[in-house]
A and B are shown apart, each in its own frame.
Chain A
Amino acid sequence: MFGYYFDLALHSLKRNPVLTALMVLAIGLGIGASMTMVTVLHVMTDDPLPGRSAQLYYPHLDPTPLNYTQNGDSPDPTDNLTWPDAMALLKAHKATRQAAMAGGSLLVRPVRAGMQPFEVDGRYATADFFALFGVPFEHGQGWSAADDTARARVVVLGDALARKLFGHADGIGQTVRLGDNDYRVIGVTADWQPKPMFYADASSQHYSDNDEFFLPLPVAVDQKLQINGNESSWAKHVDPSVMTSDGMSWLQFWVQLDGSAQVAAYRQFLIDYSAQQKALGRFERAPTSAKLYSLMGWLAHENLVPNDVRLQLWLALGFLFVCMVNIVALLLAKFLRRSGEISVRRALGARRGDIFFQLGLESAVIGVAGGMLGLLIAQLGLWSVRHRPDDYAQLAQMDVPMLLGTFALAIVASVLAGLLPAWRACRVPPALQLKTL
């Protein structure tokens, strides 16, 4: 029966080739536009560290004075930690792993002749950084907490920078000149680029920035290396060059917590710490203002998806809705026009269900064709997104779930669109129609 209905559907669609083409085009445009934007949003809100993200948390303290008012568009200073707070959390060692970090740019001096000096972005971090995030190494390893304390002049290079500097040699033990100091290479990471770069400061380009080197944070503070990111101070007469001031926030801090008991304990620890700081007169706000964000919660808090992208998604969905209403109306008119034919089939013994199935199949055929067209249009749309100069542009690729999702959406949409017309058509009273024949 399926084959027969399929033939009938094709036959009926062929009778009105222009109209069929237009319906397929409408559903293709709607699906294509929606899936382009759904895919963009999907890659922007994807889990940056699958498998590990559930254990990662971001402590949030509020050391700002009570009368501190934030300027309209300026970044929230409490999203970062001050040096004393970060060091206190680090020393307390209440989490399985913990690391403080900040972004920075350094000038790389050429190591061989014929090379121009260039700037690279990287991260200053404490020792746990690599184990905390599970950074894979190609050669060597990260530094130890003892290196942090000893202010060891060591560096871990990203694979791209290592290749640029040393070609195919691993470079371990070599010396690189970054800024005005020499650092010994102790490790080279494998390709590791979590997207979005969740651990970076709010002012960074979360979808396009990459870390090409990693330096011990205490060395960066000692050497007063340049920090990228928001440095907000609220205390009067804070010298912005003093990175260790307790009136300026600029550090990011991540902890690994295993299990809900440890999470609850850490949350309590943050509140206790705030209470203690309040008792000391450093903090002025209620200790319960201390918060602990999960990784995905933190990304939601940072609100990385620009408003324009959300607006584009709603626009695409609105477009899809209009296309759907359009298809429903057209199919309804089309099916009702065949009332005579349907009545003959009914009179010859077809059940309502049979008619419903036949017409439903016809709309599904349109849906499949529209879905394929939509897939093409979505690829075209994503290609155009990739050519935007936005920082998320490069990520706009369709993965397998999205591919299948597009197809499913197209079929579900068109079957849904066919449902009402098919239902309406199979309820046509046959006797009335037959009389007019």
Chain B
Amino acid sequence: MQLKPILASLRHHKLTATLLMLQVAVTCAIVCNVVHMIANRVERISVFTGIAESELSVIPSRSIEKGGNPQAQHVVDLAALRAIPGVRSAVAVSYSLPLNQNESSHGTCPDKQALDRAMQLNSIKGSGCVEPSVYDGSPGLIGTLGLHLVEGRDFLPDEYVTKGKPAVAIITRALAQHLYPGRPALGQSMYDGDNFIRVVGIVDALLRPNLRTLGVDYDSMIFPQPPDGEGVLYVLRSAPQDRQRVLEVAAARLVKVNPNRIINPKRVQTYSEVRAQYFQRDTTMIGLLIASALGLLFVTALGITGLANFWVQTRTRSIGIRRAIGATHGDILRYFQTENFLIVTGGVALGMLLAFVLNVVLMTHYELPQLPWYYLPIGALALWVLGQLAVLGPALRAAAVPPVVATRSV
């Protein structure tokens, strides 16, 4: 295939070809970054919580009785909830669950020296202390949430405290590594400024109620402490298909046990709903990003087809002449395909540069990670394929021009 005649002809359509190249370049730049953003969001929303998500549902209750004994009420409530057919287990927590956005975090140090360092620095950064999320709950929390104890044991009945700080805690593997790097954490005593809290168990993973930065998202610990306030969150475990029914029955049961409470119907949810709510913005954004990437590719394909169409129409006569002097169908077809390939290549080359620039801008303004290099060749390949597909129709039509056209005037 000779490039020379194609280049010569493109030089005649310099402006149009440049515009098409520009369009391909901008599309390439935006689509590469958009796909990168989609990949990031998908990674974010598929975060692992460490709990038996598909079997859990939650129901909040707030007492509006003055005085009263919240703990006794919780025990009665839990008994009523456990009696519901289909409920395998039920526990009461104060308010925190992974990804439910109700968080209580607590500065915690591996030992007293680390706390002194933190006091000196007036910051926990660099002191060895961390700020894990604290989960509490009535006995049976580990089993109901479906957490995996990898070391140590669950809490003993006499370790549960209602007032003040507990003496023991179960922590996540991530927190164990952050507090005691390279040392066994089991049996160590963490210090929070007032109390020593001994680590009696380590669970595989338990995500925070709110995501922070990568690396500290799994820093959580569990206290043997049943909720003791007006508000309580009941966590029910049942078979996935029973959740909706169980929730409906549970709300009615709780009101029957004691009507002096507020149950916010919006917060009576399966855990899947809790999770979907947390990531709702990301899911919307993923949808929009996919739509805009497809829209861009569609419009660009449209431009390529439209332009090729015009060029075929304009050149019908010269195509006829070429056919008359011996060019085959294939020659004409390849001519248009090569022409398109050249334009898209030019666009892609510029597009990769633009993609890089756009990524730098996004990194500074929207805290986006760096675009991995392999996105660029993949984007280029996608645009080449798109260009070839888009030009195929007009090119086939050009190849079908009969040589006799050459003999007609106009």
Contact = CB atoms under 8 A, between A and B. Distances in A.
A332 B123 CA distance: 63
B212 A73 contact: yes
Contacts of A310: 366
A308 interface: yes
Contacts of B288: 312, 315
Interface in A1-26: 19, 22-23, 25-26
B310 A318 contact: no
A333 B16 contact: yes
A30 B300 CA distance: 12
A308 B285 contact: yes
Interface centre among B15, B19, B22, B122 (most CB of A within 10 A): B19
Interface string B92-124: 000000000000000000000000000000110
Interface stretch (B137-145, B291-299, B333-341): B291-299
B309 A19 contact: yes
B295 A319 contact: yes
B310 A29 contact: no
Instruction: Tell me the dominant secondary structure on chain B's binding face.
Output: helix
A283 interface: no
Contact of B295 (A29, A180, A330, A420): A29
Contact of B296 (A22, A319, A333): A319
Contact of A325 (B22, B123, B280, B366): B22
B299 A424 contact: no
A334 interface: yes
A224 interface: no
A26 B301 CA distance: 11
Interface centre among B34, B212, B295, B314 (most CB of A within 10 A): B295
Contact of A326 (B281, B299, B313, B410): B299
Band of interface residues on B: 35 or more
B303 interface: yes
A330 B296 contact: no
A33 interface: yes
B26 A318 contact: yes
A110 B69 CA distance: 23
Contacts of A326: 23, 299-300, 302-303, 306
Interface string B265-308: 00000000000010011001100110010011001101100110
Contacts of A306: 281
Nearest to A324: B23
Contact of B15 (A25, A321, A424): A424
B7 interface: no
Top 4 closest A-B pairs, CB basis? Answer: A333-B310, A329-B19, A326-B303, A325-B23
Interface of A: 19, 22-23, 25-26, 29-30, 33, 67-69, 72-73, 107, 116-119, 180, 306-308, 310-312, 315-316, 318-319, 321-323, 325-326, 328-330, 332-334, 336-337, 388-390, 420, 424, 437
Interface of B: 13, 15-16, 19-20, 22-23, 26-27, 30, 34, 64, 66, 122-123, 212-213, 262, 277, 280-281, 284-285, 288-289, 292, 295-296, 299-300, 302-303, 306-307, 309-311, 313-314, 365-366, 410
